[in-house]
Amino acid sequence: MDKITIKIASELGIKDSQVENTIKLIDEGNTIPFIARYRKEVTGGLSDEILRDLGERLNYLRNLETRKNEVIKSIDEQGKLTDELTLAIAAAETLAEVEDLYRPYKQKKKTRATVAKAKGLEPLADIIIKQEEKTPIEEIAVKYINIDNLSDEEKNDKDKVVANIEDAIQGALDIIAENISDNAKYRKYIKKVCYHEGTINTKASDSEKSSNYEMYYDFSELVCKLPSHRILAINRGENEEFIKVSINKPEEKILYYMQKDIIKSQTQFTEMLKNTILDSFKRLIEPSIDREIRSDLTEKAEEKAIKVFGQNAKQLLLGAPIKGKTVMGFDPAYRTGCKIAVIDETGKVLDTATVYPTEPQNDIENAKKTLLNLIEKHHIDIIAIGNGTASRESEAFVADMIKEVKHEICYVIVSEAGASVYSASKLATEEYPDINVSIRGAISIARRLQDPLAELVKIDPKAIGVGQYQHDVNQKKLSESLTGVVEDSVNKVGVDVNTATPSLLSYVSSINNTMAKNIVKYRDENGKLKERKELLKVPKLGKVAFEQCAGFIRIPDGINPLENTAVHPESYEQTEKLLDLLGFKINDLKNKETLNSLREKLKSIDIPTFAQKLDIGEMTLTDIISELSKPGRDPRDDMPKPVLRNDVLSFDDLADGMILTGTVRNVIDFGAFVDIGVKYDGLVHISEMSNSFIKSPSEIVSVGDVVKVKVIKIDKERKKVGLSMKIN
C-alpha cells in the first residue's frame, strides 16, 4: 500500500482502506461535499471536515514527495549522492527536513566560505577538521599564501588574495563553520532542544508608550507552552514595533553537543575548532534556527486560527433562518443617519428610509413617527439592528419606540460584519441598481436575519468577522479554508434552484460562476425548473457536473417530491421501490396524513434486511429514510434561534451575580465573546465554561449558540464584562 495512504490513515486515526478509497474518489474529480454525502459506503462515512483534512494532507505529502525527487536529482547531478543521503531524504517527514538535508548542496550566494573555497582553501579546512596532522598548522598554511602568484590587478581583489598565514587559517575555518551550519543532524538537534527548553522572551520597544501589548512588555514563556493566540499577538506587537522578540535557548548544552561530535581529542586544533563551532552557532545557525522556529510557530498558530475561524463561520452560516416574517433592517449611524429597509418574507424590498434619532441631530420624534408609520403600513414583525457604530443608542431608541406599536413586535441585534463591503460591491449594484449604496447595508442586515446563509455567501468569507487575527494569517490558506467551509455549509442545507442567486449557486458542488449565471439565465428565459434533470439543458453544465450537484439542488414544487430532498437522482429507483415495499407511492410524500403513517413505518425498518432487498448501502438507506421522514426539512431549523428582545439593558444596569441570556458572537482559543445586550460583548474565559477540564472552548460552545451566563466581573473604566457559564 502507498506510504502516503498509510501515513494519512495513522494521522487521522482512520482505516487505510478509507484513505485509499477517498484518494481514488478525489483523483477522479469528485468534490468533498459529494463524497461526504453520497459516497459514504466507499469512505466508511467520513465527515466533510475529515475529508477536507485528508485532502490537505494528501496535497502536502504529494508536494513533499515531488520535492524529495527534485532534491535527489539535483544532488545526483552534482555527483554527490550517497545511499545514506538517499535514505535520509526518503525518511524526511517535512519539507523543512528535506531542505536541511539539501542545504550543503544548494548553490549558495557569495559567503565567507564560498570566497575561501574559491581561494583554494578547502584542502586546508579538511586537514583541520580531521585533526590528525602533527605538523604545526602554521607551517601547512604557508603553502596557501598566494599573493606572490597574483597579477597587480588580482592583488587588489580581496576575494582572490591569501595574504598571510592568518588569512589562510581563517578562510579554512570559515569553510568549516559553514559546513557545521549546513549539517542536518546538528540543525535537527538544536531545533528539538529549542522547542523543548527554549523560551520566547519579549521586551517593550518603549516601556513609556501605552498599547494593547503591555502584557508583553516584559514577558517570557516556554516555546512548547505558547498558545496560538499568544504567538499571533506577539507577532502583531512586533510588527507594530511595540515589542522586541527573542528566543532564549540552552546555549551551553547545544555547544557541548556539537563539540563532542566534532572535536576528537586534545590537539593543536581544539581551541580553534571550539571558537569555530561558537562562530558557526552564533553567526550562521542561531539566526536561521530562530527564523525557522518563529516561522513554524506562526504556521501552526495560523492553522489553529484558520480552523477556529472556519468553525465559527460555519456556525454563523448555518444560523437558523427566520421564515415567514416581515423584517425592518436598521443600519445604525450618527451623522449620516440610520438607514432603514423593509423586507417582506421572501426578501423583497418594500420600503426604505433614513432617520436621525442619534447624535448630532437627535431627531427622535420624527424618527419615531417615520418608523411607526412603516411598522403599521407593512405590519413588521421584527426589527434587525446592525451591531456596528451607534448600535446601542439605536437599540435604546427602538426599545422605547416599539412600546407604542399595537401588534406584537420585537428586535434582534444582527452582526453587520461585511455589510459595507457588500453594499459597495459589484454584486450589490447588480442586485439593487436603483437603490443608494448606503441603504443596501440595511437590506443586507434584514436579509441576514431571514436567511443568514443566502446573504453571507455574497461577501468575502474573511469579512464575516468571527475570527481572531484574520488579517495576520496566511491570506491564501485562509481563503481556501473559508471557501471550503462555505461550500460545506451551502451543500449541507441545499439550494432552491428557482430562487437562488448566482453567488449562492456557485458554491454548490461542481457548479462554477459561469454555470451559476447560466442557470439563472436559463430559468429567466424558460421559467421555473420542474425537475433536476432539466439542469442538463443549461449550457456548460454536463453529466459530470450534474452528478456532483444534483443532490444538493432543491425544487420545492417539482414534479417529483424527491426533488425537494437530499435524495440523489441515482437513488430515485431504490427510493420508490422502498416506498412500494412499505405500501406507499411517491406522491404520498405531499400528503400530511399519509406522511405521518409513512414515518411510523420507516421507524420500524430493519436497515440490513432492506438494504439487501434494495441492493443499496446501509448508510445510503439510512440517509434516504431520514429524508423521507421529513421531506423538504431545513437542517438549520435545529439550530438555536436568535435572541429576540423588546427591552434594552445598559452597562450601568449590570451587577455581579446577574444571570443573563446571550448569543455567542465569537469563539477564540481562550474563551468566547457573548452578546448580553449591552454595548460591549462579555468574555467567558475557558476556565469559566465548565466544571470539568476542557482543551478548547469549541468543545462547549459555537458561534450563534444561545447561552445562560452569570456576570462575575465588571470593569467600568475599560468597559469590560467577565462572564461565567458555571451557573449551578
- Three-state SS string over 406-473 comes to CCCCEEEEECCCCHHHHHCCHHHHHHCCCCCHHHHHHHHHHHHHHCHHHHHCCCCHHHHCCCCCCCCC
- Calpha distance 494→566 (Å, rounded): 8
Inter-residue contact 413 to 443 (CB < 8 Å): no
User: What fold does the segment set 651-724 form as a domain?
Assistant: OB fold (Dihydrolipoamide Acetyltransferase, E2P) (2.40.50)
> Is a pLDDT exceeding 80 seen at residue 501?
yes
- Calpha distance 531→555 (Å, rounded): 7
Inter-residue contact 684 to 643 (CB < 8 Å): no
Enclosing H/E stretch for 353: strand 349-355
DSSP secondary structure code for residue 122 in this structure: H
Inter-residue contact 700 to 694 (CB < 8 Å): yes
pLDDT value at position 1?
60
What's the average model confidence in pLDDT over 44-64? 95
Count of other CB atoms within 10 angstroms of residue 442: 31
Contacts of 51 (CB under 8 A, 6+ apart): 22, 32, 35, 36, 43
> 149-191, pLDDT tens digit by residue?
888 788 888 888 888 999 999 999 999 999 999 999 999 999 9
Residue 410 φ then ψ, to 5°: -145, 175
Length of the chain: 728
pLDDT value at position 178?
96
Pull the grid cell for residue 542. Answer: 454536463
Helix (H, G, I), strand (E, B) or coil at 87: helix
Residue 473 to residues 184, 216, 295, 305, Cα–Cα distance (Å): 29, 20, 12, 8
- Calpha distance 161→543 (Å, rounded): 72
- Calpha distance 15→77 (Å, rounded): 40
CATH superfamily label, 494-556 = Tex RuvX-like domain-like (1.10.150.310)
pLDDT value at position 678?
78
Contacts of 249 (CB under 8 A, 6+ apart): 190, 193, 194, 197, 198, 286
Among residues 337, 343, 375, 577, which one has the least CA distance to residue 451?
A: 343
What's the average model confidence in pLDDT over 695-713? 88
pLDDT tier at 639, thresholds 50, 70, 90: confident
> 102-133, pLDDT tens digit by residue?
999 998 889 999 999 999 999 999 999 999 99
pLDDT value at position 250?
96
> 397-410, pLDDT tens digit by residue?
999 999 999 999 99
pLDDT tier at 467, thresholds 50, 70, 90: low
Strand 659-668 and strand 706-715: pairing? antiparallel
pLDDT value at position 216?
95
> Is a pLDDT exceeding 70 seen at residue 289?
yes
pLDDT value at position 295?
94
- Calpha distance 131→125 (Å, rounded): 10
Among residues 699, 635, 308, which one has the least CA distance to residue 481?
A: 308
**pTM for this prediction:** 0.82
- Calpha distance 68→3 (Å, rounded): 14
> Is a pLDDT exceeding 90 seen at residue 640?
no
The answer for 247, left when phi > 0, alpha when psi is -120 to 50, beta otherwise, is beta
> Is a pLDDT exceeding 80 seen at residue 728?
no
- Calpha distance 686→694 (Å, rounded): 8
pLDDT tier at 475, thresholds 50, 70, 90: confident
pLDDT value at position 574?
96
pLDDT tier at 648, thresholds 50, 70, 90: low
DSSP secondary structure code for residue 142 in this structure: G
> 358-415, pLDDT tens digit by residue?
999 999 999 999 999 999 999 999 999 998 888 888 988 999 999 999 999 999 988 8
> Is a pLDDT exceeding 80 seen at residue 495?
yes
Cβ-count burial of 445 within 10 angstroms (0-12 exposed, 13-18 middle, 19+ buried)? buried
CATH architecture, domain 112-303: Orthogonal Bundle (1.10)
Give first-to-last CA distance, the chain, whole Å: 53
> 575-612, pLDDT tens digit by residue?
999 999 999 999 999 888 899 899 999 999 999 999 99
> Is a pLDDT exceeding 90 seen at residue 551?
yes
> Is a pLDDT exceeding 70 seen at residue 492?
yes
Query: Would you call the peptide bond into 360 cis, given omega within 30 degrees of 0 as the criterion?
Result: yes
Query: What is the separation of C-alpha 715 from the centre of its chain, rounded to a whole number of angstroms?
Result: 32
User: What percent of the chain shows pLDDT beyond 70?
Assistant: 99
Least confident interval from 349-363, 531-545, 647-661: 647-661
Domain 651-724 in the same topology as domain 494-556: no
Residue 553 φ then ψ, to 5°: -90, 140
Helix (H, G, I), strand (E, B) or coil at 566: coil
DSSP secondary structure code for residue 645 in this structure: B
Where in the chain are the domains? Answer: 3-105, 112-303, 327-450, 494-556, 564-631, 651-724
Integer-rounded Cα Rg, in Å, for the chain is 33
> Is a pLDDT exceeding 80 seen at residue 645?
no
User: Is 3.60.150.10 the CATH number for 327-450?
Assistant: no
User: What fold does the segment set 3-105 form as a domain?
Assistant: Arc Repressor Mutant, subunit A (1.10.10)
- Calpha distance 17→416 (Å, rounded): 45
> 2-32, pLDDT tens digit by residue?
899 999 999 999 999 999 999 999 999 999 9
Inter-residue contact 333 to 387 (CB < 8 Å): no
- Calpha distance 510→544 (Å, rounded): 9
